[in-house]
Amino acid sequence: MAVVDTRNKWPLGRAIKICFLDGLSDTHAMVEEAAREWERCVNLRFEFGHPEWNSDVRISFHPIHARHGIGSSWSGFGTDALTSSYACNMYLDVQYRALTRGTVLHEFGHLLAFDHEHQSPKSIIQWNKTAVAMELRHRTSRFLEDNYFHTFQGPDIECTAFDPNSIMMYGIPARWTLNWQTYHNPTVLSELDKSFAAQQYPFPPPSQPTPPPQQVALPRVWEVACYCGDTLSQPYNFRQRRVCRCQQSVKA
């Protein structure tokens, strides 16, 4: 990765409250465990188990929320999730195929305001748009443009060098490209995913411990001399008047 739209980033340190609207407890546990991988990289917290009325993100597995047809998971984009008019703002498909960790990581990447890597300004993919449209003819041209071909541009877009291993990539078969280049569908966060996420949501620097006060070495003995030549020695922390040979009172 990475491509991020800085307009949709969450405030640093934000606790994102998450609710499961439906689904099985085992599926919930898998989603939460996968999301924690992002959480370890960013200065944000995912709080699972909130009720619907007190949540920022509402996850559903019910196909009624499949916007783009069966088999398509989706997520609200960054803080846009807060203004979603839908009952849920993240849909994870479990009807078409078993939900995978890679899908969860991809959708939570969108929740963190990360865009598709294949739509990066630095992308080197040479699309065969005709081949893609023929094979995905059940998709609308708008869907293909928004999710495959459109290149993100603008002052609010930040990106790294193109990362074909990013979790935000789609799997792209060779027949979809003019140069017959295959891009596999990643299933884990790449190292660039992790480092760029940490850069966009940095943790505060560790506090430096206060050094102990410097110990000043003090003399073990004070010596006081009288004009008569007598010298009185005693510990430095012992304060009293002493009398020398000539009976002069001196203070050590």
In a domain? residue 207? no
Same domain, 161 and 196: yes
The upper half-sphere exposure of residue 121, i.e. CA atoms within 13 Å in the direction of its Cβ, equals 12
State pLDDT tens for residues 2-46: 799 999 999 999 999 999 999 999 999 999 999 999 999 999 999
Mean pLDDT across the chain: 87
What is the spatial distance between Cα 174 and Cα 194, in angstroms, rounded to a whole number?
27
| pTM passes above 0.75 | yes
Cα 75–Cα 78–Cα 80 angle in degrees, nearest 5: 85
With tokens 């920022």, the residue in question is 56
Q: Do residues 140 and 125 lie in contact, with contact meaning Cβ atoms separated by under 8 Å?
A: no
- Tell me the two tokens of residue 38: 């992002």
In a domain? residue 215? no
Same domain, 28 and 141: yes
Torsion of CA 189, 40, 99, 81, to 10 degrees: -100
The secondary structure of 82-138 as a DSSP string is GG--SS-SEE---SSS---HHHHHHHHHHHTTB--GGGSTT----B-HHHHHHHTTT
State pLDDT tens for residues 109-135: 999 999 999 999 999 999 999 999 999
- Domain span at residue 60 reads 3-200
Q: Do residues 157 and 77 lie in contact, with contact meaning Cβ atoms separated by under 8 Å?
A: no
Same domain, 236 and 126: no
Asked which of 94-103, 165-174, 216-225 is least confident by mean pLDDT, the reply is 216-225
What is the spatial distance between Cα 189 and Cα 137, in angstroms, rounded to a whole number?
30
CATH number for the domain that contains residue 25: 3.40.390.10
How would residue 250 be classed by pLDDT, with cut points 50, 70 and 90?
very low
How would residue 66 be classed by pLDDT, with cut points 50, 70 and 90?
confident
Residues 6+ apart with CB under 8 A from 191: none
- Tell me the two tokens of residue 58: 């509402």
With tokens 């291993």, the residue in question is 165
Residues 6+ apart with CB under 8 A from 244: 226, 228, 230, 232, 250
Same domain, 121 and 229: no
Residue 194 pLDDT > 50: yes
Same domain, 186 and 246: no
Same domain, 91 and 172: yes
What domain count does the chain have? 2
In this prediction, residue 189 carries a pLDDT of 97
What is the spatial distance between Cα 73 and Cα 163, in angstroms, rounded to a whole number?
22
State pLDDT tens for residues 143-164: 999 999 999 999 999 999 999 9
The upper half-sphere exposure of residue 11, i.e. CA atoms within 13 Å in the direction of its Cβ, equals 3
What is the spatial distance between Cα 248 and Cα 8, in angstroms, rounded to a whole number?
85
Same domain, 147 and 116: yes
The interaxial angle of helices 25-39 and 101-111, nearest 10 deg, is 60
